Chains A and B, each alone.
Chain A
Amino acid sequence: MEMVLDKIDNAINLINENTDLFYQNKVNEGYALLNNTLLELSITIQYIYDSVNSTLIEENLNTLNNNLKEAMLALENKDAILLSDILAYEIKHELEIIKHEI
């Protein structure tokens, strides 16, 4: 379980770092880090699925997946601020809830 918590913390840190870059208008650096952030998020979600009793956090995981889809849409539209908002206030929020539930 500690591994899951570490993974979540790592994902949150990456979200903080990535969104800082976008909010500070450092768009190129933000996009350069984004691959890593999104990859880590995917791995973390998969890890949660595999390691945790998903009935406990099923709704949160569904919300997380929907948020990721919204984030991808923002990315497609090159809306770095909306992408950051979704990462910072939706995805990170859900991860913190999941962490608390675990």
Chain B
Amino acid sequence: MSFYDINIESLAGRNEMALILREKGYSLCNKLSKIESIEARDHNKAIILNYNDNEYRLNSVYRPIEEAKRWADQFDFNNINVVFNLFGLGNGFFAEALLNNMNEEDSLVIYEPCTEIFLHVLEHYDISKLLSDERVYLYIEGMNEDKMYRELSSLISIANLGLQTQCVHPNYNLIFEHSHLNFYKILKDAFSSVRININTEVILSKEILKNITNNIQYLQDSSSISDLKKVIDTEKVPAIMVAAGPSVEENIEELKKAKNKAVIFAVDRILDYLLDHDVIPDFVLTIDPRKKIEHFSRRSNISIPLITYLDANHLIYKNHSGKKIICTYENFVKEMYEELGKEPPIVSATGSVAVTAFNACVCLGFKQIILVGQDLAYGTDKTHAGNLSDAPMEIKDEYVMGVKGEMVRSRYDWKEFILIFNHLIAENKDVEVIDAKSNGAKLEGTILMPLSEAVNNYSHGRFDINDVCNKLDKTFNQEDYMKLKEFFEDNLLVLEKIKKKAKEASIACSQLIRHVNESIGSKKNKLNLNKLEKANKYIYKQTIYSILDHAVLARTTTQMQDMNKFSKDVENDSIKTYENAKDIYNAIINVIDDFYPEFKKAVEAL
């Protein structure tokens, strides 16, 4: 079997790369005039290439494996759950040197900027071990680099946010300068996005639990976005996503004309402005657990179908009289649907309701999404359409590229959303995104087009929300509903058991601290470590823990950040680990004590 065949076989099942290679669905960097591998003095191979008329060696011509080992020695491998981000795959020697030192829980994200190098390596080297290593995530520019942002974001949590390690394959930063910058931009965007999500979840943790408790009563009559997908025709008409930017004002008349020619989604607070101007959207979205009711609508009779998460503000749920269409981003609610044999209505969360609305439109299957009011920049004298405004807050100004090619004034948080949008649009290549604004921030990959032209071009049928609502079934019939109640009752018992395990684990930590001078293999320490292992295995396996996690994190951010950090001082590391763990277990107990009574009442009332 050739090296190429061995390598392709190891790629199969891990990601779509094998398919991309088979179908030649990649683009070349086209700047390599030569690439070859020569034999080094230790009989391993070294890559020599000619890039932009300059010759470069990617490895030592003496001992390339030894070179890679000495290069890897500079990094700290004491911590766990670390994400190593490597710019440059080369022939894999440097990546292997990292993997040989990394722990099982660590991850290696490799970004290779040149397709030709990757193809050469597939032909001339056996890198099957690296390709099949579960810790490795490989992105090739021109092939699948648009996946890196989202997948990297999923590897990062509060516990390892401070443990990211950046590595550069020697010479790659000199040869591929532009790609090197792009690599760091993706890292920065991913870290920022995760940091924003973590901060958001920490701030909103109390509201999230309160809202879930109060909103489960509405599940009985709800539908899900998976149900909606079955009855909504997304082929003949586009989606129009209306956010609250000032440019909505210039589009208001066209929005009226677009009714029934497109599916109009109102994002949160723009709802009242639209209704005031006789534009009745087909759906309205809200996700913010703390959204003030007056910022959703001042009206008390909103019956427009509401697309929302279960942890959105319960007062909005209460005030809304129409159909509730549930989606979810987290495991507990996902499991709830799965246990009842229903398709979980997954729509990824970010810090922005507009981005979530975009994700919802993609989930529903729209191939054309028209953005209205997605300014993400200051208008001449306002931030939002009409009289809407944000509560006064200290948010730093940032300047971003505008649609007319000029720099425009924006905000730090809007800039983050621009980056998220850019990545989402790049990831969803089969969706045309039309930006119907004449001013504001530029979103990469969008087509700038006036709203009237966009609707004319992309609408080939008629949409009637009443038809859709008539066809839209409730997710849970009577039998399902009884099972739903059982599901929640079972989880009450799970909460009681989590608390019990956390108490036992906290006591075990105290004893481990007291006996830290004894050998780890001593009978007492073994027993206590066993208790910790069992407690952790149980607690973190329970999906209801996923909704408590934010609240636990809110109380133990410092401990979580330090969890995976280690030095060479074993005794101090041990004491620190047990003290942090004890704090976390105590936080779990406190969170359950706060949450359980009200949740129990809500379940009993179902």
B280: chain A residues at CB < 8 Å are none
Decide yes or no whether B67 CB sits under 8 A from chain A: yes
B residues 142-190 near A (Cβ < 8 Å) are 168, 170-171
Q: Which of A20, A81, A85, A89 has the most CB of B within 10 A?
A: A81
Give, as a whole number of angstroms, the nearest-CB distance from B228 to chain A: 52
A49: chain B residues at CB < 8 Å are none
Name the segment of B68-76, B243-251, B444-452, B546-554 touching the other chain. B68-76
Query: Quick one: CB contact mask for A1-39 with B, threshold 8 Å, 1 for yes?
Result: 000000000000000000110011110000000000000
A88 to B69, CA, bound (A): 14
Nearest-CB residue, chain B, relative to A90: B62
B residues 25-63 near A (Cβ < 8 Å) are 41, 57, 59-63
B71 contact from A23, A82, A89, Cβ within 8 A: A23
A81 to B172, CA, bound (A): 13
Give, as a whole number of angstroms, the nearest-CB distance from A88 to chain B: 8
Interface of B is mostly: loop
B41: chain A residues at CB < 8 Å are 89
Given A25-B170, A81-B170: A20 in contact with B61 (beta carbons within 8 A):
no
B residues 113-155 near A (Cβ < 8 Å) are none
B74 contact from A24, A84, A88, Cβ within 8 A: A24
Nearest-CB residue, chain B, relative to A21: B74
A35 to B325, CA, bound (A): 71
Query: Quick one: CB contact mask for A63-95 with B, threshold 8 Å, 1 for yes?
Result: 000000000000000010110110011000000
A89 to B61, CA, bound (A): 11
A23: chain B residues at CB < 8 Å are 67, 70-71, 170
A24: chain B residues at CB < 8 Å are 70-71, 73-74
A88: chain B residues at CB < 8 Å are 62
A25 contact from B61, B63, B168, Cβ within 8 A: B168
Q: How many residues of B contact A (CB 8 A)?
A: 15
A79 to B71, CA, bound (A): 16
A89: chain B residues at CB < 8 Å are 41, 62-63
A26: chain B residues at CB < 8 Å are 74
Interface size class of chain A, counting residues whose CB lies under 8 Å from the partner chain: 10 to 19
A81 to B70, CA, bound (A): 12
B60: chain A residues at CB < 8 Å are 81-82, 84-85
Q: Is the CB of A85 within 8 A of B62?
A: yes
Give, as a whole number of angstroms, the nearest-CB distance from A82 to chain B: 7
Give, as a whole number of angstroms, the nearest-CB distance from A30 to chain B: 11
Give, as a whole number of angstroms, the nearest-CB distance from A67 to chain B: 12
Give, as a whole number of angstroms, the nearest-CB distance from A13 to chain B: 15
Nearest-CB residue, chain A, relative to B74: A24
B168: chain A residues at CB < 8 Å are 25
Give, as a whole number of angstroms, the nearest-CB distance from B72 to chain A: 9
B171: chain A residues at CB < 8 Å are 81
B59: chain A residues at CB < 8 Å are 81
Query: Quick one: CB contact mask for B63-85 with A, threshold 8 Å, 1 for yes?
Result: 10001001101100000000000
A19 to B62, CA, bound (A): 13
A52 to B62, CA, bound (A): 31
Nearest-CB residue, chain A, relative to B58: A81
A82 to B60, CA, bound (A): 7
A63 to B561, CA, bound (A): 54
Nearest-CB residue, chain A, relative to B67: A23
A26 to B171, CA, bound (A): 11
Q: Is the CB of A20 within 8 A of B67?
A: no
Give, as a whole number of angstroms, the nearest-CB distance from B101 to chain A: 14
B62: chain A residues at CB < 8 Å are 85, 88-89
Q: Is the CB of A82 within 8 A of B73?
A: no
A-B contact pairs, 24 of them (CB 8 A): A19-B70, A20-B73, A20-B74, A23-B67, A23-B70, A23-B71, A24-B70, A24-B71, A24-B73, A24-B74, A25-B168, A26-B74, A81-B57, A81-B59, A81-B60, A81-B67, A81-B171, A82-B57, A82-B60, A84-B60, A84-B67, A85-B60, A85-B62, A88-B62
- Which residues of B are interface residues toward A (Cβ below 8 A)? 41, 57, 59-63, 67, 70-71, 73-74, 168, 170-171
The 4 A-B pairs with the shortest beta carbon distances in the complex, nearest first, are A85-B62, A23-B70, A24-B74, A25-B170
